[in-house]
Amino acid sequence: MLTGHLDTKQRVLILEYPKRAHLPKRVVPVMSTDHAVTVWTVQARKYIFEQLRGFVLQRSKAVVLMTGARHARAQNAVDKLLFMLMGGYESTLPALCAKVVADSDLIEELAPGPFSRFRHHYQEVIMPIVEWCGNYLKDSAPVPTHS
């Protein structure tokens, strides 16, 4: 998951994304430790949102190729996840994580098949995000999942 290293001498926060995400390291000027925590929280929420949104949009294209009951379940999962993501666009990190964990069964429903070229991304980026959200929530106060 996204990590942040605070350099107090230079007053910058160095944000590093997981290698599997193929995103460059970012250096963000900060004024205090509290500011650094806020920047990290905002960037972590943004990373989760963007990765999941991209995954769901990609899977919405794959749904077209599915047939029968599998098509209906997958299309339902796409619709619900897009609705959840759009509703959680400006949510706090704990609220977004709570929604991700609550809808993890829908994310699983959209998992690419074992021979799909998107399977690796699902296993290396999407599933770790879902797991991280679950672990993050264990360490924070309870949050409502859907309003």
- Residue 43: per-residue pLDDT: 94
Instruction: Taking residues 9-25, report their average pLDDT.
Output: 91
Distance between CA atoms of residues 36 and 1, nearest Å: 17
Amino acid at residue number 88: G
Read off the pLDDT of residues 92-139 as tens digits, 9 standing for 90 and up.
999 999 999 999 999 999 999 999 999 999 999 999 999 999 999 988
**Dist CA 11 CA 28 (whole Å):** 9
- Strand partners for 27: 14
Write phi, then psi, for 5 (nearest 5 degrees).
-120, 120
Quote the pTM value: 0.88
Residues 54-78 pLDDT 10s: 999 999 999 888 888 888 999 999 9
Task: Give the contacts of 9 (CB within 8 A, at least 6 positions apart).
Answer: none
Q: Write the DSSP string, 36-69.
A: HHHHHHHHHHHHHHHHHHHHHHHHHHHHTT--HH
